[in-house]
Amino acid sequence: MKKEIMAKRFELIVFDWDGTLMDSAGAIVTALQKACRDLEIEPPSDEMARHIIGLGLQDALREALPELPSQRYRELSERYRYHFLAHDHELALFEGAFELIGELGNAGFLLAVATGKTRTGLDRAMRSSGLQTSFHASRCADECHSKPHPQMLLELMEEFSVAPENTLMIGDTTHDLLMARNANVPALAVAYGAHPRSVLEAEKPLECAASVAEMSAWLTRNA
């Protein structure tokens, strides 16, 4: 990333985590499907399981398994966490993501995370990735309304006294893009995560990057 990024359009850049910074979408899909099979529940398709990534777990289960009685959410959540945690130590950031976050921080941007993970899950992922000290703030689904509700972004903007037009949301799902729209915040989509490019582009983000390298180049030119 070049130094010209210092001429900033945005002050606050907010990242989604799973599927945007960490290559975890496949692990989430597998864990959810295994949890369903453990409990003899018909698992969602790969497409549906990927669609609900980014939502808080309860909202995700409600959307992916609409006929499942709510009293079974707890046991399914427990089995999901069992399978996900069995392999989360194997997950890694997308190539170039660690360096990009460092460059953005050095360039003077305020950096934050807005995620469907729990606080415990995000803290664990940040530690394993080495990014635990790289963000100025974060919001999780067990602390705020789930995406696409704008609460996460609204709280982050209020915390740093940054206007919506000076804030950028970056994510790999329509949930991220709709949250940004609901908060009147510009959004950058990434097409290498959970949702396909076609559905992301239908939400009219500023750009839809095919890789972390493309995202970095766009930020250099436009942030």
- Looking at residue 143, its pLDDT comes to 95
Mean pLDDT of the chain: 94
Nearest to 24 by CA among 111, 163, 128: 128
Global pTM value = 0.91
pLDDT in tens, 45-102: 999 999 999 888 888 988 999 999 989 999 999 999 999 989 888 899 999 999 999 9
Which whole number is the average pLDDT over 145-173? 97
One-letter amino acid at 176 equals D
- Looking at residue 173, its pLDDT comes to 97
18 close to 170: Cβ distance less than 8 angstroms? no
- Alpha carbon of residue 131 to chain centroid: 15
CA distance to 10, 51, 83, 99, 182, per residue, from 7 (Å): 9, 36, 45, 20, 27
In 3-state terms the chain splits into helix, strand, coil percentages (rounded to 5) of 50, 10, 40
- The DSSP output letter for 89 is G
Residue 204 CB-density burial (10 A; 0-12 exposed, 13-18 middle, 19+ buried): exposed
Q: State the pLDDT confidence band at 120, using cuts at 50, 70 and 90.
A: very high
Domains annotated on the chain, with CATH: 3-23+93-222 (3.40.50.1000), 25-89 (1.10.150)
- Residue 16 a catalytic site member: yes
Q: If phi over 0 gives left and psi between -120 and 50 gives alpha, with beta otherwise, what is residue 42?
A: beta
- Looking at residue 7, its pLDDT comes to 53
- Looking at residue 5, its pLDDT comes to 42
Q: Does the pLDDT at position 19 exceed 90? A: yes
Of 18, 88, 172, 176, the catalytic one is 18
Q: State the pLDDT confidence band at 4, using cuts at 50, 70 and 90.
A: very low
Q: Which two tokens stand for residue 3?
A: 């130094």
- Looking at residue 95, its pLDDT comes to 97
Residue 3 CB-density burial (10 A; 0-12 exposed, 13-18 middle, 19+ buried): exposed
Which one has a higher pLDDT value, 139 or 1? Answer: 139
- Residue 172 a catalytic site member: no
Percent residues over pLDDT 90 in the chain: 89
Of 16, 88, 172, 176, the catalytic one is 16
pLDDT in tens, 170-222: 999 999 999 999 999 999 999 999 999 999 999 999 999 999 999 999 999 99
